[in-house]
Amino acid sequence: MKRRKFIIKSVLASAGISLLSNSLSAFNQNHNLKNTEMTQNNSTIFPLTIATWNFPNASKKAGELLANGANVLDAVEQGVMVEEADIRNTTVGKGGAPDRDGNVTLDACIMSPKGDAGAVVYLKHTSKAASVARKVMEETPHVMLAGEGADLFAIQQGFEKEELFTESSKEAYKEWLKRKEYKPIINIENHDTIGMLCIDENGDLAGACTSSGLSYKVNGRVGDSPIIGSGLFIDNEIGGAVATGMGEAIMKSVGSFLIVELMRQGKSPQEACEEAINRIIKANPNYKEFQAAFIAVNKKGEIGSHCIQKGFSYVKYQDGKNENIPSSYNF
């Protein structure tokens, strides 16, 4: 009798364990499915494109390319090319305002998800500065080429020789020669750069920065735009940042690199941008006389932006929509 009761209890216990095991298995399957669904939902923030100032045509171009599965480096390059080719934009590419001696010169850099980088400075004969910078990155053992060497390299790589000085820019230059005043106007003359950051559907980052520099600058002047770590910096494990505004102040702070390193230490993109601007303010007693601005994005797709003076904005392209977003500022 005792043996029979023992067997019955054993069978019931075994059945209970089996039922519990099946229940736990079903729970784990449902839980894992929900986690997978959450991951898929979170990934819908990508692809993502952000760019300095309100350049909706450029951000749309890059965003649409990414949406169609384009390589993230191709997307960021072709995105900034939109503004390099727009002669109405007097601060980027063809039609850019000249230096004080009448030379239109272009600066640009580009970075890939692998951390590779290329740059050109004082480019005078092709508007596609970011594309030449990419060729420097991919076809040479160098990071930067300058002046005549950069132009010669561009021709050797198949870029057409162009006249960058347009008729409208020449007329504006003639008017400037009558007074020869150099006084940067906040958010106008400093509106001199398109810096773009893209994240593809896999979460990989690339960036580009291109500019004709400050209007009527001293012949030979180079700003932050082509300087890796100042005008642009990408770390595919962390995020990226780009800058615009008074390049001298940005170069002295190595601002874009600083922002990425602050994000590495745990700061949000917004906190990192604010810290970078605060350091520029602290180091420059004349900070109220110029603009400096940053945008940044981390691997989660979180965005930050901050500037010294009111008036800077950035454009975001996501889910087929462009949005021009005013930046936070100090003054």
| SS3 state at 148 | helix
CA angle in degrees (0–180, nearest 5) for 273-287-187:
75
> Hey, which residues are catalytic here?
193
Q: Strand pairing partners for 154?
A: none
| SS3 state at 313 | strand
C-alpha to C-alpha distances, 330 to 20, 42, 287, 312, nearest whole angstrom: 60, 32, 11, 11
Is residue 190 within 8 Å of 245, Cβ to Cβ? yes
Helix (H) or strand (E) holding 117: strand 117-123
Is residue 173 within 8 Å of 164, Cβ to Cβ? no
| SS3 state at 121 | strand
Rounded Cα distance between 227 and 118, Å, is 9
Residue 267: HSE in the Cβ half-sphere, 13 Å Cα cutoff: 16
DSSP 196-244: EEEE-TT--EEEEEEE--STTPPTT---STTSBTTTEEEETTTEEEEEE
Helix, strand, coil shares of the chain, percent, nearest 5, are: 40, 20, 35
Strands of 313-318's sheet in order across: 144-146, 117-123, 106-111, 205-211, 193-199, 48-52, 313-318, 321-326
* 320 CB-near residues (< 8 Å, 6+ apart): 63, 67
